[in-house]
Chain A
Amino acid sequence: MLKFLLDILSVPAVLVGLIAMIGLLAQKKGSSDVLKGTIKTILGFIVLGGGAGIAVSSLSHFGTMFQTGFGIKGVVPHNEAIVALALKTYGTQTALIMAFGMIANILLARFTPLKYIFLTGHHTLYMACMIAAILVAGGVTGLPMVLLGSILLGFTMVFFPAIAQPTMRKITGNNSVGFGHFGTLGYVLSAWVGSLVGDPTKSTEDIKFPQGLTFLRDTSVSIALVMGILYLIVALASGQVFVEKELSGGQNFIIFAILQAITFAGGVYVILAGVRLILAEIIPAFNGIATRLVPDAKPALDCPVVFPYAPNAVLIGFLSSFAAGILGMMILIAFSGSIPSLAIILLGVVPHFFCGATAGVFGNATGGRRGAVAGPFSHGLLITFLPVLLMPVLGDLGFANTTFSDADFCGVGIVLGNILKLFM
């Protein structure tokens, strides 16, 4: 009987379903809602696994072509891809850390001055997954892992909103809402750089800026476009003969490259659909319970919360961060000759778009136009170099063709991983 129970609980899909069910029951929902919500949450986890398969297959072709063409390892920084991959191994640990981490968040908000409730559920999931991977790689398992992981996750869920809040007040003009997105180290850096170089009264919003690039806000389209360019480059570098003989089964190598890029975007699309299903019941429950227990807490919201305050800075920030990503990639390539184990962190379109854009708004708030260029540029360099330091502490995941992209995942992972190394 015990084994039967353990078998059920060790299936991560069932475990997240159970967490959703507890949340639904706590809200006193009717039995049909409980049943529907629980099944959809489990369904989400299964869908996510399917998306991982699609994304990883196309990424492995990318990795092979990159290795053949350039003789070094190229890594695509992409949260969804690495998390979906990691959940195959660390699913149970992630689900437990996420559930108890949200409880830790509520307790910290209740009993400390850090009164934030972190509502960006997908980032809670990704951070839980990253912490699980680092702890397991560092030799922490079982109950201590869940305990330590949950406290750590709860702490990140109040700490990062707290350090973003001074700039958040400048952006929104009030103090009623918090900022919850795990790229905060980059945004705080951007705000600091902005304050050094610019003048906040000369806002980006006073200039006329073409809005033609807004179609890139459609994540699937922008991933397909930018990855398409990267796939084309590696396909050309590894050569027609190699691609058509080894990978595509005779299909023209240019067509193969473009289709693989769109396949990757398709994989991410499916992963996102899965994440959406997983969170659909858990986040409202978390929000409901948290607002009842900590009525004076601020909700910490996803990064696009700041976008409407400065749409020009959003685009300028993306372009500037993206340019820094290209420069950073070139610097890594230049150093790869002298450091053979160095992985090249490629342009991650999603982090540059969302985090770069947010860095633009933060830079604009402290340094106006100049801040909106210089801040995101520093952010773009940061998120290109941080993953290089993260990969060695990720254990087996560090050998994947993809890794975490946003600044806080890397920051927390690097600090935690290296502290654990001291005890090994």
Chain B
Amino acid sequence: MKILVCCGSGLGSSFMIELNIKKILQEMQVEAEVDHTDLSSAAAEKADIYVGTRDIAGQLLCLGGRVISLNSMIDITELREKLGVVLGVPVGKV
């Protein structure tokens, strides 16, 4: 499974979200490839789950994977819940 985090330039914010996702996946004991990139490259990169903050998540909808739209890039609880829903991992278990 591949999770791709996107932001405008694919440098800063997507990278920070990627680090948080990796931390959460480790807690959940889920194996997945996590990477970050810019919006242009996202269209050319196949992923099962695309992640972006709500101001850009709309542009990820047509890429063919499931999309996680985040209200805040720093709220790890929100990220954990939304990731849990998409991955089918119950929140209580974590």
A residues neighboring B (CB under 8 Å) = 119-123, 172, 176-177, 181, 211, 214-215, 217-221, 269, 272-273, 275-276, 279, 283-284, 287, 299, 301-305, 307-309, 311, 314, 350, 353-354
Cβ A304 vs Cβ B73 within 8 A? yes
Cβ B40 vs Cβ A221 within 8 A? yes
Cα–Cα, bound, A172→B72 (Å):
9
Cα–Cα, bound, A304→B11 (Å):
11
Cα–Cα, bound, A121→B15 (Å):
10
Cα–Cα, bound, A314→B13 (Å):
15
Question: Which residues of A have CB within 8 Å of B55?
Answer: 214, 217, 304, 307-308, 311, 314
Contact with A along B30-72 (1 / 0, CB 8 A): 0000001111110000000000011110110000000000111
Among A219, A305, A354, contact of B74 (Cβ-Cβ < 8 Å): A305
B-side interface size class: 20 to 34
Residue among B36, B38, B54 with the highest chain A CB neighbour number at 10 A:
B38
Question: Which residues of B have CB within 8 Å of A354?
Answer: 8-9
Among A211, A272, A311, contact of B10 (Cβ-Cβ < 8 Å): A272
B19 adjacent to chain A (CB < 8 Å): yes
Cα–Cα, bound, A273→B15 (Å):
13
Cβ A218 vs Cβ B39 within 8 A? yes
Cβ A219 vs Cβ B72 within 8 A? no
Cβ B74 vs Cβ A177 within 8 A? yes
Among B11, B39, B41, B58, contact of A279 (Cβ-Cβ < 8 Å): B11
Cβ B39 vs Cβ A307 within 8 A? no
Query: 18 A-B Cβ contacts within 8 A?
Result: A122-B12, A176-B74, A177-B74, A211-B58, A217-B8, A217-B39, A276-B37, A301-B12, A301-B74, A302-B16, A304-B7, A304-B12, A307-B53, A308-B70, A308-B71, A311-B55, A350-B9, A354-B9
Among A172, A176, A303, A308, contact of B12 (Cβ-Cβ < 8 Å): A303
Given A269-B40, A304-B7, A214 contacting B58 (CB threshold 8 A): yes
Cα–Cα, bound, A256→B51 (Å):
37
B residues neighboring A (CB under 8 Å) = 7-13, 15-16, 19, 36-41, 53-56, 58-59, 70-74
Cβ A272 vs Cβ B38 within 8 A? yes
Cβ A308 vs Cβ B38 within 8 A? no
Quote the shortest CB–CB distance from A359 to chain B (angstroms).
16
Cβ B56 vs Cβ A214 within 8 A? yes
Question: Which residues of A have CB within 8 Å of B54?
Answer: 308, 311
